[in-house]
Amino acid sequence: MGHTKVLIVDDSLFMRKLIARLIEEDPQLRVVGAARNGEEAVRMAGELLPDVITMDVEMPVMNGLEALARIMKERPVPVVMLSSLTQEGAKETIEALQLGAVDFIAKPSGSTSADLYKIKDEMRQKIKAAAAAPSSALRPIRREPYAAPPPPRMAVLNRSVPASVRQLIAIGTSTGGPRALDAVIGELPAGFPYPVLVVQHMPPKFTRSLADRLDSLSKLRVVEAEDGQPLRGGTVYIAPGDFHMTVAENGGEYRIQLNREPQRNGHRPSVDVLFESVARLSGVKRHYVLMTGMGADGAKGMLLAKESGAGTTIAEAKESCVVFGMPKAAIELGCVDHVVPLAQIPGKLLEFTQKS
């Protein structure tokens, strides 16, 4: 097996050299070029035909988002974004992931940080995973946000403050998740009457930006979950970075509970924690979805959910996953009712929630 060819894009000479050195410590990876801005990146991507591109979000001449859009149009190639841990960096990174970037790495501290060595293992792992992503997973789902939230939206919210929640959807995802969530949540109709709980592996700030962007792209209300928040129909709750999300029932009302208990499967939030919590809510019909992601988080939780009387369990099919890790782990445990490509997941959810 040959080397994975990597093109580095960063406006800082120091960062280009540091990233190249860290990448090439791995004998399976080879840096074939380094671009200073998005314009150079587009040209070099066509000339060097890299397997993966690492792309800084913030650059002069042509920024990372513009370059990404051009590359995805001209010759799609897996792109891993490098982002600063700022709210603006998070916002642009989420947009990049929905434009077709397969993953991102949050720089430890600021945009020209010598601390990058702390995340070198993560960087190499994500580059290798990106190289294996199917070309179907590189296409953006949709370009334009809705011009404005549709008028029925508030009416739906007002109608959907029931004394009790009758059905719940719990979704877990990781690498490739923002694009997958866009495809699923963006297709649920404005009148959808049930709450949707989502764990997406991401640091703080990024989950807030993810919620904001999904809110602008979908007909449902999408929020970053808060501790003690009551569940409402027509609302999607994204677990905040660095907090586990659970649901507690008290007198027929369901509320979100956040905690900072130890990581599970190397993650906080963890899909297993959410799924196990929802599995205990026997008074409500529960539907579970596992989508693209590295590792096995959510598989054991889905098995428990199945044993606890899940309404349905759905796993994303390999053909549409950026990384077929989490769904595969659940399928291997024998707890998945339906294995379907990403585009079919919203239809399945509508089908099974409307059966009751």
Tell me, what amino acid is at 122?
Answer: E
* Residues 6+ away with beta carbon under 8 Å from 126: 80, 103, 105, 175
Catalytic entry in 56, 212, 297, 320? 297
Assigned superfamily of 4-135: Response regulator (3.40.50.2300)
174 given a catalytic annotation: yes
Packing angle between helix 120-131 and helix 13-24, nearest 10 degrees?
A: 70
- 10 catalytic per annotation: no
Q: What is the pLDDT of residue 109?
A: 65
Query: Distance (Å, rounded) from C-alpha 273 to C-alpha 201?
Result: 12
What per-residue confidence (pLDDT) applies to 114? 59
Is residue 267 part of the annotated active site? The answer reads no
Segments of the chain scoring below 70 in pLDDT: 1, 109-114, 142-164, 356
Dihedral (Cα; 344, 350, 352, 356), 10-degree rounding: -170
Write the pLDDT tens digit of every residue in 224-263. Answer: 999 999 999 999 999 999 999 999 998 879 999 999 999 9
**Among residues 174, 209, 218, 277, which one is catalytic?**
174
How deeply is 147 buried, as exposed, middle or buried, from its count of CB atoms within 10 A (0-12, 13-18, 19+)? Answer: exposed
Q: Where are the domains of the chain?
A: 4-135, 152-354
Which pLDDT score, from 0 to 100, does residue 153 have? 41
pTM for the complete prediction? 0.90
- Distance between CA 269 and CA 245 in Å, rounded? 7
pLDDT at 143: 44
Taking only the tens place, the pLDDT of each residue in 198-230 is: 999 999 889 999 999 999 999 999 999 999 999
Query: Model confidence over 273-287: pLDDT tens digits?
Result: 999 999 999 999 999
3-state secondary structure the chain: CCCEEEEEECCCHHHHHHHHHHHHCCCCEEEEEEECCHHHHHHHHHHHCCCEEEEECCCCCCCHHHHHHHHHHHCCCCEEEEECCCHHHHHHHHHHHHHCCCEEEECCCCCCCHHHHHHHHHHHHHHHHHHCCCHHHHCCCCCCCCCCCCCHHHHHHHHCCCCCCCEEEEEEECCCHHHHHHHHHCCCCCCCCCCEEEEECCCCCHHHHHHHHHHHHCCCEEEECCCCCECCCCEEEECCCCCEEEEEEECCEEEEEEECCCCECCECCCHHHHHHHHHCCCCCEEEEEECCECCCCCHHHHHHHHHCCCCEEEEECHHHCCCECHHHHHHHCCCCCEEECHHHHHHHHHHHHHCC
Topology given in CATH for the domain delimited by 152-354: Rossmann fold (3.40.50)
Task: Write down the catalytic residue from 201, 244, 267, 287.
Answer: 201
